[in-house]
Each structure stands twice: as C-alpha cells, then as structure tokens.
Amino acid sequence: MTQIRIAGFGGQGVILAGVILGEAAAIEGLNVLQTQDYGSQSRGGHSVADVIISREPLYDVMVTKADVLMAMSQIGYNGAIDSLREGGTLIIDTDLVKSDREFIGAPFTRLAEEKVGLALTVNMVALGYLVAKTGIVKKESVEEAIRRRVPRGTEEINLKAFRIGYEEGAK
C-alpha cells in the first residue's frame, strides 16, 4: 500500500492531479482511494489531495503516514509536512517551497510557464515528476487518465506538461 499526499493552494489543480493519479491506478486494475480537503475559497486556500493505492483490498480512508508528499506551495507544505513518514519521499516545487527536510523536486511552476507556456499546467508538470520518480503507476496509464479527465480541447497541452515533468523526473 502506498499513501500519497499532494498539497498546495487552491487554483493549482492539486485535486485534479490526485484524481488523475487515482484514475491511472484504477486503469491498471489497482485498488485506489482518492479523497480531498480544501478551503471554501476557490483560490488561495489550502488544498490537499490524498491518493492511496494498494494491490490488497483497501480499507483505509485517509492518509495516516504519507509515503510520498508532494508540496506545490509553502502553505501546502506547512500543513502537510507532519504527515510524511520518516524516510518518505518529499517532492517540492523548489522555487516556492523551503524545507529543512531531505527533498527532491524541480521548479514546477517555472517549468509550466517557460517550457509549456501555461502556468495553469503546473499540476501536470508536478504529476509527471512524481510518476517518474516513484514509478507508482505507468506513464501510459497517466496519459490515458489525462485524456479522460481534463477539459475537452486541453488534452494536448496537459499531456505536454505531464511529459515535461516526467522527463525532468527521469533525469
């Protein structure tokens, strides 16, 4: 069983990233649970997506000790860092998050702006990085999930963003 928590602020597409990761796991026939927690404001409040993936029957309903924490903003990091288990993988946006724990990461927002050309795709860039680093699901499953879940007409730019993040993580 792998517990993944993605934390950021509202507007970064944190929950969609969690849903797509979950859908990818479902496509692979894995047992998967996705839940979310967010502030009532549409932008700027905290936003957390939890994904639990398991080959065994899945009873858990929440992330208790995250194996992977991806913090896309400082507010997300501050609220979620205590949930990362010792020795767990911490992934951060290296431009936006400061951490005194061991981490890996990349400037996701900058990559989305400069390489994809659309800051809104930061969630897909970060997801690509996470998938490359953890191997929790296959790249192809995520691409299929992206095609199913993003608004029609935005498939290509989201796939591009995902691949840029994936390449960054595979380096």
Q: For residues 51 and 4, is the Cβ–Cβ distance under 8 A?
A: yes
- CB nearer to another protein: pick between 113 and 144: 144
- CB nearer to another protein: pick between 43 and 101: 43
In the complex, least distance from residue 142 CB atom to another protein, rounded to whole angstroms:
13
- Sign (positive or negative) of CA dihedral 107, 162, 164, 31: positive
Give the pair of three-digit tokens for residue 72: 């896309």
User: Is 19 one of the binding residues for another protein (CB under 8 A)?
Assistant: yes
User: Is 2 one of the binding residues for another protein (CB under 8 A)?
Assistant: no
Report which of 149, 159, 152 is spatially closest to residue 118, judged by C-alpha positions: 159
User: Is 13 one of the binding residues for another protein (CB under 8 A)?
Assistant: no
Phi, psi of 40, deg, nearest 5:
-80, -15
- CB nearer to another protein: pick between 31 and 94: 31
Q: Which one of residues 12, 13, 23, 166 is an interface residue with another protein (CB under 8 A)?
A: 23
Task: Point out which residues pair with 119 in neighbouring strands.
Answer: none
* Ranges within 47-66 binding another protein (CB under 8 A): 58-62, 64
Rounded CA separation 93/104 (Å): 9
Binding range to another protein, per CB under 8 A, among 6-14, 28-36, 88-96, 151-159? 28-36
- CB nearer to another protein: pick between 35 and 134: 35
In the complex, least distance from residue 97 CB atom to another protein, rounded to whole angstroms:
26
User: Is 151 one of the binding residues for another protein (CB under 8 A)?
Assistant: no
User: Is 22 one of the binding residues for another protein (CB under 8 A)?
Assistant: yes
Residues of this chain that interact with another protein (CB under 8 A) are 19, 22-23, 25-27, 29-36, 40, 58-62, 64
